[in-house]
Amino acid sequence: MIVRPPQHWFVRLFTWHGSVMPQILFRLLLNLGMSLIALALYPWLGQHSAHLTLPPFSLLGIAIAIFLGFRNNASYSRYLEARKIWGSMMITSRSLIRQTLCAVNEAQSPKLAAKLLIAYAWTLNHSLRGSSARQDLQRSIDPSEADGILNKQSMANMLLLQVGQLYANLLRQGKVTELQYRNIDENLNELSRCLGGCERITNTPVPFAYSLILQRTVYLFCTLLPLALVADLHWLTPFVSVFISYTFLSWDAVAEEMEHPFGEGANHLALDAICTGIERNLLEMTEQTPLPPLKQVDRYYNLT
């Protein structure tokens, strides 16, 4: 994820890192090639009265812009929901450790709870991204216990179960009261809702048919657009056609990127930085060392 300081508008025009230009550059080059073909065929098309006109493209362009706006709103809603879920996870983890430190008059239980919550955050991160959680899991908890967790289908859910069992044992031992346990259990339920929310976003993409028909329409529009512009713009056709195509293709690319907020691209959520922030906070609260180094989100800021 990129977090930039305010930039001058002229500098931002030439920003490459984090833009969708690398993704759509080849498609823009195809549109440029189609514009040159339209220029070459224009005399022949004029002789046979076969050139296209602008009014149908104007109407179609308005319709495509409206649908692209809806799709971008839906994609950004998924991204924003994912960020809220991870923000809630950070707040709830802090609250759990605070409640444990205030309720239990010994150091071992809060430290163990902190390690399990740290492992929970990292395993959920890796599960969402489809990467291996072995290294972070073995670093957070006992390696022998980590091997057992790695064999489970839902590692984060099993770690959450262990956290619940830890607090249930504290209740049976009389180290926390029923009222304290009830408040702690509410936070555990919130962590469970965070897990379910992340799984819902990951396992429920935007319907494929909706994305497919919109992309087909956009690509067909951009392909035929030079044939409609060439009669009026002539040698300006490549410039205008590429600019209009850039607008539609970039909207489509941004929407497609935001549909999957848990990826590792420049505009996806900075899950590693969030997990590092959770780890640093919980270790600091339970007076454990060493604290992990801050994750560099971009060369400008650290997100914690």
What is the rounded average pLDDT for all residues in the chain?
88
302 pLDDT more than 80: no
Pair 100, 109: CB distance under 8 Å: yes
Between 144 and 218, the more confident residue is: 218
Residue 103 DSSP SS3 = helix
Average pLDDT over residues 95-114: 92
* Dist CA 251 CA 257 (whole Å): 10
Pair 35, 226: CB distance under 8 Å: yes
* Of 115-129, 140-154, 179-193, the least confident: 140-154
Give percent above pLDDT 90 in the chain. Answer: 58
Cβ-based burial of 59 (10 A; exposed 0-12, middle 13-18, buried ≥19): exposed
Average pLDDT over residues 242-246: 94
**Angle made by CA atoms 249, 253, 255, in degrees to the nearest 5:** 120
Phi, psi of 67 (to 5 degrees): -70, -35
Average pLDDT over residues 273-282: 93
In the chain, domain spans: 21-285
Average pLDDT over residues 211-234: 89
Q: What is the pLDDT of residue 2?
A: 57
58 pLDDT more than 70: yes
CA distances from 5 to 8, 18, 272 (A): 10, 14, 21
Q: Which two tokens stand for residue 272?
A: 């590693």
Average pLDDT over residues 104-133: 93
Q: What is the pLDDT of residue 241?
A: 94
